[in-house]
Amino acid sequence: MAVTSEVAKPRAGIATRSAFDVARVREDFPILKEKVHGKPLVYFDNAATAQKPRQVLEAEQNFYLRLCSNVHRGVHWLSERATQAYEDTRVKAQRFLNASESREIIFVRGATEAINLVAGTYGRKNVQVGDEIVISAMEHHSNIVPWQMLCEEKGARLRVAPINDRGELILEEFEKLLGPRTRLVAVTHVSNVLGTINPVQEIIAMAHRQGIPVLLDGAQGAVHLKVDVRELDCDFYTFSGHKLFGPTGIGVLYGKARLLEAMPPYHGGGDMISSVSFEKTLYNVIPYKFEAGTPNIAGTLGLGAAIDYLGGLGQENLLRYEEELLAYTTEALAGIPELRIIGTARQKAPVISFVLNGLHPHDVGTVLDQEGIAVRTGHHCAQPLMDRFGVPATTRASLAFYNTLEEVDRLIKGLHKVREILG
Amino acid sequence: MSDLHALYQEVILDHSKRPHNFRPMADPSRTAQGYNPLCGDKVTLFVRLDGDRVADVSFQGSGCAISTASASLLTETVKGKTLAEVESIFAGFHDLVTGKAPRDGQGPALGKLAVFSGVSEFPVRVKCATLVWHTLRNALRGGEEVATTE
């Protein structure tokens, strides 16, 4: 029997240049069918938190329906299964970051807790009076405040590497800040406001030449880039599950094993000990030393499902499609009168902040919301960055791979409506 | 009228673009600052009192259309009023923007402030409208603390 080859038909929905079926992917995200003020939801607040595919929701529910028990404690069947699933996720996270060993993966509540953990353990142990920590001008509050708190406690100094008007780190200035008193460099991989992708390889090389360890805040980076901690040679990497299409309340701290081993514990409690007496407590080995108490087991399994899901789609396909979304959105926004994009780095993720001349982002956000479009308005937990660009706030559209060019068109229409209503 | 047009009435847009009494004051009896961390609205309010009457009031700062218009209309409304009258107007204004029915016959005449009735359909914007009023209350009480909406 002759096999007739089907002529390729255009896909439903928006045709894209990349080999990526966004219409099919959207089927995995139940919330994308919601209506807001009677209009189909356009979710452009992905940098705040991303939506979750059905697979993540099912993994969380499956834990409570079929596996619920504590981990690392019971000899009973359920506990063994739960422990296995929990530890399997650690291996998934290890592979996701291409870490050498799974014990270099610490489960935490999110990137914020991960940074606080490093500041509270590595920082408190190694930073002394007169020492310095170097961050950048584009950091999220979560990569500023923990270091400020540490510096205040230790009498150390926080140094801030400047950025140019495009929102790019000025590498020469950054390098000048490094010196014999620098104990740590902590910078974001991708800016949550500007979308800037930092030249982390150069940053790490400059710091390592002087023996300074580097922490990368990967809250956005893990979402928009392929991360290879061994290739980067970063000393710490942090990310939040909920921005990576996983649940809230779970995240990862990666640390090089030799650094983690030398660090004192963070929280005290069960699971982080190997033996306790009232005279002396022996701490557990890594990663458990840093995981006191019953962890967020359901969230961890949800994160594992998110990592599997992304792997199934093929991260390279996703990233190529994201580039297309960014280019299309940037071009479309350029057609809006008196709109200024804040953050025009040459290397950029699809996180786009802008201001409309004479209009406050809060008003812009309210009008867009009535159109069913969810954007973030405000300072995005980066007040020093707002000051750098001389704006009190911005409107931010942050896109994910389930967004479509059609949705970008709706944003553009919405912005015309903003002008019509607010003048 | 759509909810959006009810929120952004002409009067509100006019006051947000050309706010009245938008100036510092050389000899204020009281000043207070207000801050809305959600959207970054900042307002500094200057008040000159004559006995228990507001002789002059002005403001500076940056904010959204609702908060700027609210500050502008506040200055117009409370000038010449006694402290007790200001409290009463604030109570009526608060009821208006939070969608509570004005108390029958007892509510103060809100005058131009009635244009803020559309805010009640936008709960997240209530803070924008009330920030400057909380700031005024702080100023009149002589408090040093920054009024916030949190």
Domain ranges of chain B: 3-143
Task: Give the chain A residue whose CA is nearest to the CA of B42.
Answer: A392
ipTM score of complex: 0.88
Asked if the Cβ–Cβ distance from A360 to B64 is below 8 Å, we say yes
Are both A49 and A75 inside the same structural domain? no
Tell me, yes or no, whether A4 lies in a domain. no
Residues of chain A with Cβ-Cβ distance to B63 below 8 Å are 360, 392
What are φ and ψ of residue A29, in 5° steps?
Answer: -115, 95
pLDDT in tens, chain A (423 residues): 444 443 333 344 444 455 689 999 999 999 999 999 999 999 999 999 999 999 999 999 999 999 999 998 878 999 999 999 999 999 999 999 999 999 999 999 999 999 999 999 999 999 999 999 999 999 999 999 999 999 999 999 999 999 999 999 999 999 999 999 999 999 999 999 999 999 999 999 999 999 999 999 999 999 999 999 999 999 999 999 999 999 999 999 999 999 999 999 999 988 888 888 888 889 999 999 999 999 999 999 999 999 999 999 998 999 999 999 999 999 999 999 999 999 999 999 999 999 999 899 999 999 999 999 999 998 888 888 988 999 889 999 999 999 999 999 999 999 999 999 998
Number of independent structural domains in chain A: 2
CATH number of B3-143: 3.90.1010.10
Asked if the Cβ–Cβ distance from B7 to A366 is below 8 Å, we say yes
Q: For residue A306, what are the domain limits? A: 56-312
The amino acid sitting at A307 is I
Q: Which of A312, A344, A379 is a domain's end point? A: A312
Interface A-B, measured as beta-carbon pairs within 8 A, has a size of 49
Cβ A181 vs Cβ A197: under 8 Å: no
Residues of chain B with Cβ-Cβ distance to A421 below 8 Å are 4-5, 8
Are both A323 and A270 inside the same structural domain? no
Tell me, yes or no, whether A12 lies in a domain. no
Per the listing, tokens 């107007």 go with: B89
Residue A340 CB burial class (10 angstroms; 0-12, 13-18, ≥19): middle
User: d(Cα A242, Cα A102) in Å, to the nearest integer?
Assistant: 21
Partner residue facing A392 (CB), from B7, B40, B65: B40
Closest CA to A165 of A343, A349, A341, A351: A343
Task: Give the chain B residue whose CA is nearest to the CA of A378.
Answer: B39
Active-site positions of A read 381
Asked if the Cβ–Cβ distance from B64 to A379 is below 8 Å, we say no
Residues of chain A with Cβ-Cβ distance to B65 below 8 Å are 359-360, 363, 422
Partner residue facing B39 (CB), from A362, A421, A423: A362
Are both A156 and A207 inside the same structural domain? yes
Residue B48 CB burial class (10 angstroms; 0-12, 13-18, ≥19): middle
Are both A62 and A208 inside the same structural domain? yes
Asked if the Cβ–Cβ distance from A377 to B39 is below 8 Å, we say yes
Q: Which of A256, A277, A312 is a domain's end point? A: A312
The shortest C-alpha distance from B38 to chain A (Å) reads 7
Tell me, yes or no, whether A412 lies in a domain. yes
Are both A41 and A65 inside the same structural domain? no
Are both A287 and A258 inside the same structural domain? yes
Are both A137 and A32 inside the same structural domain? no
Are both A280 and A411 inside the same structural domain? no
Tell me, yes or no, whether A42 lies in a domain. yes
Asked if the Cβ–Cβ distance from B8 to A421 is below 8 Å, we say yes
The CATH number assigned to the domain holding A151 equals 3.40.640.10
The CATH number assigned to the domain holding A399 equals 3.90.1150.10
